[in-house]
Amino acid sequence: MPRSQRRAAIVTGAAGGIGSAIAARLDKDGVDVLAVDLASAAATYSGPGVSHAADLTTREGNRDTVRAAVETFGRLDIIVANAGFQHVAPVADFPEDRWDALLALMLTSPFLLAKYGWPALLEAPQGGRFLVIASAHALVASPFKAGYVAAKHGALGLVKTLALEGADHGISACAICPGYVRTRLVQQQIATQAKAHGLSEDRVLDDVILTAQPVKRLIEPEEVAELAAFLLGPHGRSFTGTPVSIDQGWTAR
Ligand SMILES: NC(=O)c1ccc[n+]([C@@H]2O[C@H](COP(=O)([O-])OP(=O)(O)OC[C@H]3O[C@@H](n4cnc5c(N)ncnc54)[C@H](O)[C@@H]3O)[C@@H](O)[C@H]2O)c1
């Protein structure tokens, strides 16, 4: 593909399960990827694109990320706000620092990336695209996940607002809302819950983690990446201001 026709994307959390699958899938579509992650993860990132280290819980990290994309590729067409983590605790014991970090990474970072990236998205010849990897937890709640659920609901509100502001400027914004995906984020929860409930990890998966999902199968990161590629491709441009669920029936209840 000629350099002038290649689009450029920021993918955050690109060293993780879903982020690395999205970076690889976009690369296959001829998109130049700035693969953003924390310094420790960025240093060992071996996927496609240009690795960039940033702590996205900081304003500077988000500003530098947008600056690096524009400087590296000379343009910015796509932002995929994917970086995230989970913290499980009852509300009365929920550590306030973890609450702040969850909101900073999964709500404020998408806002800052949109704010700093907006002028470049306005210039994108095929229309700017903003995609948040949210969660079924952007639509429904679970106990003990106050910070995560609040951040993901907020991110969906941000997406709706960006869709309205971008409508007259060719910019679309949407949120993918997955159920449980086979990544480190879920593996860690399985281990924690197994210890907490005194159960085997297999039992925890079926009886604790996947209770909300009628279909008892973890989603593969590549399935989420395929959906992202569709939404960011030519046939996805009418999806804006909306959550797109890939959740094994979770939110059908
Ligand atoms: N795995 C699931 O079941 C699932 C379900 C629904 C939604 N999601 C969402 O998908 C996204 C990706 O999750 P995943 O499952 O691939 O997890 P993951 O742990 O494999 O990847 C997350 C990545 O984010 C990075 N990250 C964490 N803090 C950061 C920071 N401050 N700055 C920059 N990068 C940071 C991590 O280093 C990691 O590489 C998250 O937003 C998560 O909430 C995951």
User: Residue 49: what pLDDT?
Assistant: 97
Closest by CA to 166, choosing from 117, 199, 211, 112, is 117
CB 33 within 8 A of CB 27: yes
The Cα-based distances of 177 to 48, 140, 203, 224, 232 in angstroms read: 24, 10, 25, 9, 15
User: Residue 195: what pLDDT?
Assistant: 86
**What are the structure tokens assigned to 250, written together?**
């979770």
What is the Cβ-side half-sphere exposure of residue 20, based on CA atoms within 13 angstroms? Answer: 13
Active site residues: 148
**What are the structure tokens assigned to 252, written together?**
């059908």
Weakly modelled stretches of the chain, pLDDT under 50:
none
78 shares a domain with 112: yes
**pTM, rounded to two decimals:** 0.97
Kindly state whether residue 194 falls inside one of the protein's structural domains: yes
How many Å lie between the centroid of ligand 1 and the Cα of residue 2?
A: 32
- Which residue segment(s) compose the domain that 144 sits in? 3-180+219-245
14 shares a domain with 92: yes
229 shares a domain with 196: no
168 shares a domain with 48: yes
Q: Is 117 in the pocket of ligand 1 (CB under 6 A)?
A: no
**What are the structure tokens assigned to 167, written together?**
């409508």
User: Residue 161: what pLDDT?
Assistant: 99
204 shares a domain with 127: no
Kindly state whether residue 110 falls inside one of the protein's structural domains: yes
Instruction: Report which protein residue has its CA nearest ligand 1's atom 8.
Output: 135
Q: Is 13 in the pocket of ligand 1 (CB under 6 A)?
A: yes
211 shares a domain with 89: no
202 shares a domain with 161: no
Kindly state whether residue 120 falls inside one of the protein's structural domains: yes
pLDDT digits (tens, 9 = 90+) for 9-42: 999 999 999 999 999 999 999 999 999 999 999 9
Q: Is 64 in the pocket of ligand 1 (CB under 6 A)?
A: no
153 shares a domain with 124: yes
78 shares a domain with 63: yes
Kindly state whether residue 73 falls inside one of the protein's structural domains: yes
Instruction: Report which protein residue has its CA nearest ligand 1's atom 17.
Output: 185
User: Residue 153: what pLDDT?
Assistant: 98
How many Å lie between the centroid of ligand 1 and the Cα of residue 4?
A: 31
User: Residue 207: what pLDDT?
Assistant: 87
Number of domains in the chain: 2
194 shares a domain with 168: no
Q: 177: which DSSP letter?
A: E
225 shares a domain with 207: no
In what side-by-side order are the strands of the sheet with 32-37? 50-53, 32-37, 8-12, 78-81, 129-133, 172-178, 242-246
How many Å lie between the centroid of ligand 1 and the Cα of residue 84?
A: 4
Q: Which helix (H) or strand (E) segment is 114 a member of?
A: helix 109-122
Q: How many CB atoms lie within 10 A of CB 128?
A: 26
**What are the structure tokens assigned to 152, written together?**
């993901």
Q: Locate all alpha helices (DSSP H) within the chain, ordered by sequence.
A: 17-28, 39-44, 59-73, 96-103, 109-122, 146-166, 184-197, 201-207, 221-232
Q: What is the rounded CA–CA span in Å between residue 107 and residue 104?
A: 6
189 shares a domain with 165: no
pLDDT digits (tens, 9 = 90+) for 51-84: 999 999 999 999 999 999 999 999 999 999 999 9
